[in-house]
Amino acid sequence: MSEQDDQERTEEPSEKRLREAREKGDLPRSRDLSGAMVVLAGVAALMSGSEDAFRHAQRIYGLGLSYGRDALFSGELPARVLGGALHEGLLLFAPVALATVLATLAAPVMLGGLSFSSQALEPKFDRLDPVAGLGRVFSMRGLVELGKSLLKLAFIGTALVLLLRHSQQAMLATGRGEVTAGIAMALSTLGRAALVFGAMLALIGGIDALYQRFDYSKRQRMTKQELRDESKETEGNPELKGRIRQMQHQMARKRMMQELPKADVVVVNPTHFAVALRYDDGRMRAPRVIAKGVDVLAQQIRLVAGAHRIPLVEAPPLARALYATTELGREIPAALYVAVAQVLAYVYQLKQATTQGHAPPPTPNPEIDPDLMGPYRET
C-alpha cells in the first residue's frame, strides 16, 4: 500500500503542507553534516588557540608532577590539584565548546532552518510497538541508514588507523623525551586525528545532506487526491460555495427588485436587455443603475416596471452599453452622459405631454460608441 502511495505522489508539496510539516518539526536534517561541522569547528578553535591550549595543558601536567613533601602529607593536595586542573581544563576547552555550540546551531540553518515544535516533544507510544519498530528497521530508509553507518565506519576507521600508524614511532618516542615535547606531540596528534575525522565526516555529511533534501522532498510530495482535498479544506467545498453564491445572487436579485420601483426609466433592448436608471439631481452626480438583467431577468424587470408605470425606452445600443459598462448600484460612465441625458429628457417631456394631453415627443435614438458595448456589440 505504501509503495502504491509513493508511486502516486507525483505532485509538488503545497505551502500548507510544508508549513504543517515545519510545525511538526519535520525538516530535512543531516546528523552527519551537523557532526562534521561540530568537529571541524572544534578543531579550528583548538588549532587557532594552540599556544594557549599548550600552555593550559602544560599547567595541568605540572599540577600532577610538582608538589612538595609538606603538601603531600597535608591532605590539601588532591583538592588543590583537582581545582587547578578543573580551572585550566575549562580555559582549555572553553573556545572549543563555544565553537561547537555555534556549529550545532548553524548546521540546521544551512539545511532546513531552525524550528521549535512542541509537537515533536509529545510522547509517541506507538514507537514502543516492537512489530512497528522491526518494520522501520527493515524498511528502505532503515537499510539506507545502516549502509551509511557501515560506510562511515569503514572510511573514518581506515583514515584514523592510517594516521595512527604514520604517527606510531613519534608517539612511542614521547616516553623517552621531555614532558613539553610529549604534550606538543599529543596535541598535534589529537588535532590531526580530529581534522581527518572531521574531513571524512564532512565528505559523508555533504553527500548525506543532498540525500536528506531529496528524501524530504519525496516524502512531502502529494497525490492528486490530497491536493483536491486540501483545496476543498482551504477554499471550502465547491458545492457549498456554489450554494452560497446562488443564495447571494437570489438576495441581490430580491434587493434589486425592491429598488426597481424607484427607477425613473428602464432602457431596453426589445427582448434581451433591460437596465433601470434612477437620477436625483440633489443627491447624485450622475444617473445610477439600480437594476439590470438579460433574457428572463430582463423580462421580469419589464413586468415590474410596467406594474409601477415606469417608462420603457427602447434604445438597444444604449441598453447593451449600460449593461456592459456599469455595475449594479454604480453611476454611469461619463461617456454615456449625453445619451442618458437624452433619454431622461424624453421621459420628462413624455410625462408633461401625458399630463397636459399633448402628443408624445419623438423617441430618442442616441448614438453610442460600439466599443462601450464590450462583448454585447452587435456584428
- Which amino acid is present at 88? E
Rounded Cα gap, residues 174 and 193, in angstroms? 17
CA distance 212 to 5: 20
Answer whether 194's CB lies under 8 Å from 38's CB.
no
Same domain, 274 and 200: no
Q: 10 and 133 share a domain?
A: yes
Q: What is the pLDDT of residue 189?
A: 76
Last residue of a domain, one of 234, 268, 289: 234
Residue 253, in any domain of the structure: no
β-pairing, 273-278 with 288-294? antiparallel
Q: Are residues 111 and 65 in the same domain?
A: yes
- Edge-first strand order for the sheet with 265-268 is 288-294, 273-278, 265-268, 312-314
CA 122-123-127 angle, to 5 degrees, is 135
Last residue of a domain, one of 234, 250, 273: 234
Examine the domain organization and report whether 211 and 302 are in the same domain.
no
Count of structural domains, the chain: 2
pLDDT digits (tens, 9 = 90+) for 199-244: 888 888 888 888 888 888 888 888 877 777 777 666 655 666 677 7
Other beta carbons within 10 angstroms of residue 41's beta carbon come to 21
**Are 145 and 263 part of one and the same domain?**
no
What is the tens place of the pLDDT at every residue in 106-118? 877 777 666 665 5
Residues 290, 343 within the same domain? yes
Pairing of strands 312-314, 265-268: parallel
Q: What is the mean pLDDT of residues 134-160?
A: 74
**pTM confidence score:** 0.44
CA distances from residue 330 to 252, 253, 327 in whole angstroms, order as listed: 14, 16, 5
* Domain residue limits at 34: 2-234
- On whether both 195 and 61 belong to a single domain, the answer is yes
In a domain, 139, yes or no: yes
Q: Are 199 and 307 in a shared domain?
A: no
202-240: b (≥16 Cβ within 10 Å) or e: bebbeebbeebeeebeeebbbbeebeeeeeeeeeeeeee
Query: When comparing pLDDT for 132 and 298, which is higher?
Result: 298
250, part of any domain? no
What does the pLDDT read at residue 378? 66
